[in-house]
Structure 1
Amino acid sequence: MSFSVKPVIIFMLLTVLPVNITTAEEDREALRIAVENLLQAGQLHIGDVDIASGELLAEFYERRDYAPVWAANDKVAELLQLIMATEKDGLDPSDYHLDAVRDIQSSLTAGRINTAAEITDADLILTDSLIRLGYHQRFGKVNPYSLDPHWNFRRELNGKNPAVSLQEAFDADSFAGYLETVFPRGWVYMQLRDGLARYREIEARGGWPEIPDGPTLRPGAADSRLATLQQRLTISGDMENAQSSAPITEYDEALQTGVRRFQKRHGLDSDAIIGPATIKALNVSAEQRVRQLEINLERARWVLDDIEDDFVLVNIAGFRVYLMRDRKIAWESKVQVGKTYHQSPVFRDEMKYLVFNPTWTVPYSIASKEMLPAIQADPEYFQKRDFDVKNRNGELIDPTTVDWSSVTRRNFGYTLVQRPGPANALGRVKFMFPNKHAVYLHDTPSKYLFEKSERAFSHGCIRVEHPYEFAEILLGPDWDQDRIKATLDTKEITTVSMPKSLPVLLLYWTAVVSQNGDVFFYNDVYQRDQNISAALDEPFRIELPDS
């Protein structure tokens, strides 16, 4: 669009000001009237540009005594560069008035912005653009509370007045430098960003071919699809370019290595057997993978300003737990997470202590709904599984004195407590961060389930494959494996405080990038990506939290 906007606001200005105004005082008066109009009307449209930052924009100009900040400022070109660069973050440059900012820069260069009305419109558009950009960089475009009412990660302004921060951005040597200082991005975010760039390049080159359906491919097989498979894996970087131009006729070792690498990066069994699950993952388009990375960059913006250098991170979608030291992976393990109908929640809390030889108090919903039929079918249920039974008063009772056939879910008045031991549902150790969800990390007797590629098996808690290693690292040098084993051998409930509490982040990311740059994609087991994707396409909204 060309920069010639004439909304109602300009008419108001022209009724009180001469047409060709150039003095600073008259420019201030024009801005003051525009801002007051914005506050009174609750909205402002300049041509086809919506000014969305309302009260923040008004406070910013009030603090400046309504002095324009852009007309005599060389930062417009830098703002335009920042807007263009947002595409690298998976954001949409049009959210920041891209076309209008281009037109303003061109008009400023040509000396076509001279009147108070023109200066006012340009200033408001440019400032609103910068506010929008900074808001998305700090908080993301989508408000996670709108998708998950249990979201409890902080969305704070670190005690700073946003209008003051905005002025600091103008006073800094560069916008980019200021944003990096205020909203630093660690390697997790930057690797996702680099991954997005790589997959966009693949998409721009036409993506990769689709593998036709057919029988399961096993090592050594001959199949007409092998050449297409080789091309597919080469494009995604899972195989090097073939050295020979001869057609591939056998599912050989080089191809198997590429398939295993692909399977590992996509949360599949790395067995080189190409069945329906592997074919399905191979045939997800490059365009879809680009969108997946954009979605997870948004998830990263929600949380990466709310973490310390050391923390525990559970990626629910990836079925893994990580111990981070100085924001780098110090230890990791497979985990099992909540079933699709018992989804593990996304939240953060503080891990404070461990319990060796824990008991398990069965949640009422599990006891009365899932366990009651088994109890009614087997008189020795409690004895076989080491359960104690308590009445409503918390007193231990003999379960054989209860007529379980008359017990229903509605009149289930008992508490079931599983005693410590290897059969305990929590295993031999649990990692505690008390929270309203009653979700924590723990050991499990169901070790065989760690062999599965998708591990959504629990009622919401996180089962850890190597809990004793985890305990040793968390408790420090005074707790080696010998001491842990001796503690377990006592069969007594033992609570041990950690030397220092650690933040625990339960997140749900369907795409991550390792420290060495490998891009990993995970199945969206809880079907959460689509809601974020749709919200990213919504118009801009600003919902500033408290400072």
Structure 2
Amino acid sequence: MLAAPALAQSEAPGALSGEAWQTQLADASARLSRLYQVRSERPIWQDAQRVEALVQALGKLDADGLVPEDYRPGELQEKARAALADPTNAEARARFEIHASRTMLMALTHLQRGKVDPQRLSSDWELDVEPPDLDMAAISQALDKGNVEAAFDQARPSFDPYQQLREGLAHYRRIDRQGGWPTLKHEDVLRPGDSGESVERLRERLAAIGNTEVAAADASFYPTIELKAPNPHAYDDTLVEAVQRFQRHHLLADDGIVGPRTLKALNMSVDQRIDQIRANMERARWLLHGLPESFVLVDIAGYDLRYFRPNGETWRSRVVVGRPYRRTPSMRSEITHLTINPTWTVPPTIMREDVLPKVRRDLGYLQRQNLSVLSPSGERLDPQSVDWSNPGGVMLRQQAGASNPLGRLVVRFPNDQMIYLHDTPSRGQFARSKRALSSGCIRVEGVMELAQLLFDDTGTPADASRLVADGETRNVLLDRHVPVVLHYWTVQPEPDGELAFRPDIYERDDDLVEALDKPITL
């Protein structure tokens, strides 16, 4: 606890004034100036107990996945002792006042919008992080009451997913303090009906994260009582259900068999899961602000799309996203129109890397794929007339139809990377547990149903099924634009209260955690 100098506590909160104070205010940043403007320039940190409350609040930021030492709480205490010990040294007290407020505002900014700049981590990031929007009046009122933690709560994201991640982080840290969970042997492939010590370790592993129904009691503690606990060595139905739930939460085939992939997920360390949660709390701070009530959210790593409708209902579907070497970018845009019975112009990357090598080997590939060769101005060309070793600006276009890669419908929104949501003739891909299979765009299961919901919810008089059946290629403008967000989550709170951990398909978590742990300059 920071010792409270008697002389400093005797000063009234508004006692700091004069040339030294005005000099510090004149050099303050815009946000810092705004804080003191709402306070009529009254200082905050001339009371040792209030400084101690700030130190305590900074120390609790690890509950949000941040690093408390970034904000130098120990250094803040030392500076407070030096500055507040002599109430006659107005210059020292003024400097400390500004230093403490600057530290607090940096912490609040990191808590509200994130510590890490996502654009420095990923070149394909197209999702703007809005500037901090701190309610200085509410923060000032909390500080006047001596409740620094309430001031921090003003900045902390209030959305349920963030709170669930925060609770999950606390849960996994408790597991870590209790010694973690057992590791299963790599040769262990367990199936329903198996028995043995490996099954017991599996029970312990699942019980550690909250599956108490599979926990086996130790009969030696109660030798005279007939326990109704499961046989610890038996792979029974209850354990099968727990394994299947674990598999679903980790995007694995939920067959109840502990094979190599399930074993790998089970053997991820507690520390790795804690880091994964921290990374996704930072992603939540980037995203969970300024969202409308109704929007389309694509969860890239979760292969999932949710449309939060204006009536409060949520439409959900499976999606296919970009391969690791053709990543689907994170972005925010607005759905403006839908293309019915689309043609498909081969994008430059696919043209260069996929199609041209096949055409050079066999010119008949164009006819088999129903691809027309067009000049840059759109005129049809004879494939025989093109120098395919150096085709210049020619385009390849596939006509609308059942085999078109875009299927029968495309949902479009402006962006620099030509990304959109679309139908697909390869519907069997939706049954796969890992669906990073596209060239960057997002294939949506049941996209026809999504299209009709978009028409209905925006008051657009259109019948998706009838338009598709008509066979004509056309664009249908939405009467109102619908926001769309594409984002990358490797941890997602589930309705049953558990956290779902996804494979880091684009290998982004480690870089983000490293950036979170990198010290900052105050």
The reply to whether TM is greater than 0.5 is yes
What does residue 389 of structure 1 align with?
A: 373
What does residue 407 of structure 1 align with?
A: 388
Alpha-carbon distance in structure 1 between the residues aligned to 2:519 and 2:312: 36
**1:183 Cα deviation (Å)?**
6.2
User: Are 1:229 and 2:199 an aligned pair?
Assistant: no
- Pair 327,121 (structure 1): closer, same or farther in 2 beyond 3 Å: farther
Match of 2:300 among 301, 305, 316: 316
- Pair 519,327 (structure 1): closer, same or farther in 2 beyond 3 Å: farther
- Pair 383,131 (structure 1): closer, same or farther in 2 beyond 3 Å: same
After superposition, the CA RMSD in angstroms is 3.5
**1:461 Cα deviation (Å)?**
0.5
What does residue 222 of structure 2 align with?
A: none
What does residue 154 of structure 1 align with?
A: 128
Letter in 2 for 1:355: T
User: Are 1:30 and 2:20 an aligned pair?
Assistant: yes
What does residue 89 of structure 1 align with?
A: 64
User: Are 1:253 and 2:251 an aligned pair?
Assistant: no
Unaligned stretches of 5+ residues in structure 2: 5-9, 218-227
User: Are 1:359 and 2:333 an aligned pair?
Assistant: no
- Pair 192,456 (structure 1): closer, same or farther in 2 beyond 3 Å: same
**1:447 Cα deviation (Å)?**
1.4
- Pair 113,278 (structure 1): closer, same or farther in 2 beyond 3 Å: farther
Partner SS for 1:352? strand
Letter in 2 for 1:134: L
**1:84 Cα deviation (Å)?**
3.5
Alpha-carbon distance in structure 2 between the residues aligned to 1:327 and 1:291: 36
What does residue 110 of structure 2 align with?
A: 136
**1:27 Cα deviation (Å)?**
5.2
The CA deviation string for residues 329-372 of structure 1, in whole angstroms up to 9 with x for no partner, is: 70111111111111111111111111121111101232233112
The CA deviation string for residues 437-496 of structure 1, in whole angstroms up to 9 with x for no partner, is: 10011111111222221111111101112212211222117999x943322221111322
TM-score normalised over the length of structure 1:
0.81
User: Are 1:218 and 2:201 an aligned pair?
Assistant: no
User: Are 1:115 and 2:88 an aligned pair?
Assistant: yes
Letter in 1 for 2:478: M
Note if contact 2:38-2:137 (Cα within 8 Å) is conserved in structure 1.
no
Note if contact 1:28-1:66 (Cα within 8 Å) is conserved in structure 2.
no
**1:425 Cα deviation (Å)?**
0.5
Note if contact 1:349-1:504 (Cα within 8 Å) is conserved in structure 2.
yes
- Pair 496,177 (structure 1): closer, same or farther in 2 beyond 3 Å: farther
Match of 2:169 among 183, 189, 196: 196
Partner SS for 2:434? coil
Q: Size of the alignment, in residue pairs?
A: 501
Note if contact 2:126-2:329 (Cα within 8 Å) is conserved in structure 1.
no
The correspondence of residues 66-465 of structure 1 with structure 2, limited to 5 A, is 68-72=43-47, 75-76=50-51, 78-102=53-77, 112=85, 114-116=87-89, 119-157=93-131, 166=136, 169-172=139-142, 177=150, 180=153, 184-238=157-211, 240=213, 241-242=215-216, 244=228, 247-325=231-309, 330-399=314-383, 401-402=384-385, 406-408=387-389, 410-465=390-445
Note if contact 2:334-2:484 (Cα within 8 Å) is conserved in structure 1.
yes
Match of 2:487 among 507, 524, 542: 507
**1:412 Cα deviation (Å)?**
4.3
Alpha-carbon distance in structure 2 between the residues aligned to 1:103 and 1:526: 44
Alpha-carbon distance in structure 1 between the residues aligned to 2:120 and 2:62: 24
Alpha-carbon distance in structure 2 between the residues aligned to 1:523 and 1:195: 18
Letter in 2 for 1:194: E
What does residue 14 of structure 1 align with?
A: none
What does residue 531 of structure 1 align with?
A: 511
The CA deviation string for residues 43-76 of structure 1, in whole angstroms up to 9 with x for no partner, is: xxxxxxxxxx867557866998976432159744
The CA deviation string for residues 98-145 of structure 1, in whole angstroms up to 9 with x for no partner, is: 22455678899xx84533265335423421221122111222111112
**1:508 Cα deviation (Å)?**
0.9
Letter in 1 for 2:200: A
What does residue 220 of structure 2 align with?
A: none
TM-score normalised over the length of structure 2:
0.85
Alpha-carbon distance in structure 1 between the residues aligned to 2:245 and 2:316: 19
Note if contact 1:3-1:103 (Cα within 8 Å) is conserved in structure 2.
no
**1:181 Cα deviation (Å)?**
5.3
**1:86 Cα deviation (Å)?**
1.9
Note if contact 1:31-1:67 (Cα within 8 Å) is conserved in structure 2.
no
Partner SS for 1:251? coil
**1:536 Cα deviation (Å)?**
0.8
The CA deviation string for residues 366-418 of structure 1, in whole angstroms up to 9 with x for no partner, is: 2233112323444443333222221233201343x436xx512x434421111
Unaligned stretches of 5+ residues in structure 1: 5-20, 40-52, 543-547
**1:540 Cα deviation (Å)?**
2.3
Partner SS for 1:472? helix
